[in-house]
Amino acid sequence: MQCHEIQEQFVDLLYDEQGTPSAGSELLAHVSSCASCQKELAALKALRTTFKVWRDEPPLRPVTIPQRAPVRRVFRLPIWNVARYAAVAALVTLALLGLSNAQIRWDKSGFSFHTSLFQQSQPAADFYTKDEMKAILNRVLNISEESNRQMIERMMDTQDAVRAVELRAITHQIKEDRIRN
C-alpha cells in the first residue's frame, strides 16, 4: 500500500475505542516501517489531545444583542382596502335599494325617491297591440337584413383583399425562382 492510502485509515488508529473496527495488521506494519506516516500519525495524536484540553475563554465583557426600539405604528389603510370597503358598501346599498323596490327620479320637476316593499302592478295601458308588435318586428327584421347584407359585403371585400395579397406573394415567388434558374 502507498502512504496516501494508509493515511486515509489513520482514523482507525487514532480512535481505537470499543465499538470501532480495530486497525488492520497491514496498517500497523506500514506505520511501524514508514517514518513519514509515523510523523503524520504523531501530529494527529497531538492535535487530538490539544482539542481534548481546549476550553473556551470567557468573553471580556458580556455579549448583548442590541434590541430595536419599539416602532410606533401609524394606522393607515392601504388604498386597495379603502376601495374594497367602498365597493362592499356600494353593493350592500344597491342590494337594499333593489329589495325595497326603490324608484329614483330626477326630471324637470326635481328629484324624487320612492320605495315600497311590494311591487305595484303596472297600468293596463303599458302593453303593445298585435299590430304594433308586427310593426316592431318588421322594422327589426328590415334592420337586421340590411346589417346582414353589409356584413356579407364586408366579408367578400376582405376575401378579395386577402386573395390579392396572396396573388402578389405567389407572383413574387415565381419571379425569384425564375431569376435563380
Q: Where are the domains of the chain?
A: 3-53, 79-114, 128-181
Which residues partner with 35 through β-bridges?
none
58 or 179: which leads in pLDDT: 179
Q: What is the pLDDT of residue 119?
A: 59
Q: Tens of pLDDT along 99-153?
A: 777 877 888 888 887 777 765 555 555 566 667 777 776 777 776 667 776 777 7
Q: What is the pLDDT of residue 123?
A: 52
Only one residue has cell 495524536, namely 45
Strand 110-114 and strand 103-107: the pairing is antiparallel
- Beta carbons of 100 and 117 less than 8 angstroms apart: yes
Q: Which amino acid is at 56?
A: D
- Beta carbons of 43 and 77 less than 8 angstroms apart: no
**pLDDT classification of 89: cutoffs 50, 70, 90:** very high
Which residues partner with 114 through β-bridges?
103
pTM: 0.30
The closest of 36, 54, 42 to 13, measured between CA atoms, is 42
